[in-house]
Amino acid sequence: MVRKLNTVVLGAIFTIVAFAVLWPVVHMVSAALAPGQSIANLPVVPFANGVTTQHFEFVFTQTPYLRWFRNTLVIAVCTSVGTMLFASMGAYVFSRYQFSFKRHILMTFLILNIFPAFVGMVAVYVVLLRIGGLDTLWGMVLIYLAGNMPFATWMVKSYLDQIPKSLDEAARIDGASGFRIYAQIIVPVARPILTFLAVTAFTAPWMDFILPKLVLRSPENQTLALGLFSFVTDKNNFFTNFAAGSLVVAVPFMIFFVATQKSLIASLAGGAVKG
């Protein structure tokens, strides 16, 4: 009897939690498919006013949405790949080699994580102005890579420290170079943490608004965050179009998470390293 009661209580709790999590998503889908433009006209009950695809048609035919999507995808993919590559190489060097000022450099990386991104915005703007990176996609990639490196290097280094150095020594006895050990032994073993790093590095530029607002000025270089925000300014009130555009934004995330879920779970569980 008690066991059955516990099952009922747990089921009720999980149902309430699932409802609280899914309710905003359902409303977002409802807003994207609802007739009209204003959020004030949206019904309390989702889909009560019927459904329409006119907002998706508007987004794809009347706005440069695909260009915003392409620009954001280029920035996110380059940032993700670059962060994985440079952070893993840096972490491998810090994990496997001894050199002067190693501890001081790592401590500097740790201190850099303390400061919020807003502190460096003026410096970022000045540096990009000097090197011609303002209003360019590669300038945005450079900012995100520089911001990701300290934390990413620390995180991957901590993971690599758990990989037995006997693997390196065995490969070195067989004549493998340092780069070959990194590419053919360390990277495959560290794939879970690199996958997690790729997801987090991909997510930040995809959702960011402040840095693109600071750097990107011309309409042809706008990202999704900037473009979608133009639907809901003090002069525009196109919330349903905003909802339709936001719904499409979630598609790459769903594909990415489904494709990498096994590695993500392995990384979070911390059970990928075996002696």
CATH of the domain at 212: 1.10.3720.10
- Look at residue 259 and tell me if it is in a domain: yes
What's the confidence (pLDDT) of residue 84?
Answer: 93
Q: Over 50: is that where the pLDDT of 76 sits?
A: yes
Torsion of CA 126, 127, 133, 139, to 10 degrees: -110
- Look at residue 201 and tell me if it is in a domain: yes
The candidate with the shortest Cα–Cα distance to 33, out of 52, 57, 59, is 52
Q: Over 80: is that where the pLDDT of 153 sits?
A: yes
The crossing angle, in degrees rounded to 10, of helices 191-207 and 137-160 is 150
Q: Are 28 and 74 within one domain?
A: no
DSSP category for residue 184: I
The candidate with the shortest Cα–Cα distance to 162, out of 183, 184, 192, 200, is 192
DSSP 3-state assignment of 44?
coil
- pLDDT tens digits, 48-69: 878 888 888 988 998 999 999 9
Q: Over 80: is that where the pLDDT of 254 sits?
A: no
Domain count along the chain:
2
Q: Over 90: is that where the pLDDT of 271 sits?
A: no
Q: Are 180 and 262 within one domain?
A: yes
Q: Are 267 and 180 within one domain?
A: yes
Q: Are 164 and 85 within one domain?
A: yes
Q: Are 190 and 246 within one domain?
A: yes
- Look at residue 56 and tell me if it is in a domain: no
Pick the last residue of a domain from 51, 75, 90.
51
- Look at residue 82 and tell me if it is in a domain: yes
Q: Are 46 and 177 within one domain?
A: no
- Look at residue 163 and tell me if it is in a domain: yes
Q: Are 126 and 261 within one domain?
A: yes
Q: Are 246 and 120 within one domain?
A: yes
- Look at residue 57 and tell me if it is in a domain: no
Q: Are 87 and 149 within one domain?
A: yes
* Percent of the chain's residues with pLDDT above 90: 22
The candidate with the shortest Cα–Cα distance to 153, out of 206, 214, 107, 199, is 107
DSSP 3-state assignment of 229?
helix
| Domain housing 40 | 1-51
Name the burial class of residue 62, with classes exposed (0-12), middle (13-18) and buried (19+) by CB atoms within 10 angstroms of its CB: exposed
The crossing angle, in degrees rounded to 10, of helices 2-33 and 54-62 is 50
Q: Are 183 and 245 within one domain?
A: yes
Q: Are 214 and 246 within one domain?
A: yes
What's the confidence (pLDDT) of residue 80?
Answer: 92
- Look at residue 59 and tell me if it is in a domain: no
Q: Are 124 and 187 within one domain?
A: yes
- pLDDT tens digits, 209-236: 888 988 998 989 999 989 988 888 777 7
Measure Cα distances from 232 to 1, 202, 271 in Å: 54, 25, 45
Name the burial class of residue 2, with classes exposed (0-12), middle (13-18) and buried (19+) by CB atoms within 10 angstroms of its CB: exposed
In single-letter form, the type of residue at position 19 comes to F
How far is 11 from 118, CA to CA, in rounded Å?
A: 44
- Look at residue 237 and tell me if it is in a domain: yes
